């Protein structure tokens, strides 16, 4: 991997590196949603939620299409969900190693 590729990957990972953005990705994996549908799921004002959506759009993880006055958000790259499974495997394996070291 060259430096440009590493920077590109870092940008995508940084866009995902927030609990709210991971939750948005998870919600959009269940289907397209407008901000009006996402907003009640989070204890955030609408402008903060919009900033999170904007970061995901900038990274190419989600897209937006207009339907009248509504902006419908769509998971552009569903393969990104594979990261969730991998992260959980890392967490489980790390926990097992720590338990083994501590002999719990």
HEC string for the chain: CCHHHHHHHHHHHHHHCCHHHHHHHHHHCCCCEEHHHHHHHCCCCHHHHHHHHHHHHHCCCEEEEEECCEEEEEECCHHHHHHHHHHHHHHHHHHHHHHHHHCC
48 domain residue, yes or no: yes
Q: At what angle are helices 3-16 and 19-28 packed, to 10 degrees?
A: 90
65 pairs with which residues across the strands?
Answer: 72
What pLDDT sits at residue 75?
A: 96
18 domain residue, yes or no: yes
What pLDDT sits at residue 104?
A: 63
Percent of all residues in the chain with a pLDDT value above 70, rounded to a whole number: 99
100 domain residue, yes or no: no
Query: Residue 103: pLDDT above 80?
Result: no
95 domain residue, yes or no: no
What pLDDT sits at residue 53?
A: 97
27 in Cβ contact with 75 (< 8 Å): no
- Mean predicted confidence (pLDDT) in 23-27: 96
21 domain residue, yes or no: yes
Q: Which residue has the higher pLDDT, 104 or 39?
A: 39
53 domain residue, yes or no: yes
24: tokens are 């948005």
17 domain residue, yes or no: yes
Query: Residue 43: pLDDT above 90?
Result: no
What pLDDT sits at residue 101?
A: 87
Using H for helix, E for strand and C for coil, what is the string for 55-72? HHHHCCCEEEEEECCEEE
What pLDDT sits at residue 102?
A: 80
Percent of all residues in the chain with a pLDDT value above 90, rounded to a whole number: 81
Q: Structure pTM?
A: 0.86
Residue range(s) defining the domain that contains residue 14: 3-77
Q: How many domains does the chain have?
A: 1
- The CATH number for 48's domain is 1.10.10.10
73 domain residue, yes or no: yes
């Amino acid at each position: 991997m060259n430096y440009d590729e590493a920077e590109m990957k870092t940008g995508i990972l940084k866009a995902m590196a927030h609990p709210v953005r991971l939750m948005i990705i998870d919600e959009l994996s269940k289907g397209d949603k407008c901000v009006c549908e996402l907003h009640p799921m989070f204890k955030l004002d609408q402008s903060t939620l919009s900033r999170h959506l904007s970061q995901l759009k900038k990274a190419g993880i989600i897209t937006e299409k207009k339907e009248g006055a509504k902006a419908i958000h769509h998971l552009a790259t569903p393969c990104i969900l594979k990261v969730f499974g991998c992260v959980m495997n890392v967490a489980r394996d790390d926990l097992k190693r720590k338990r083994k070291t501590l002999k719990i």
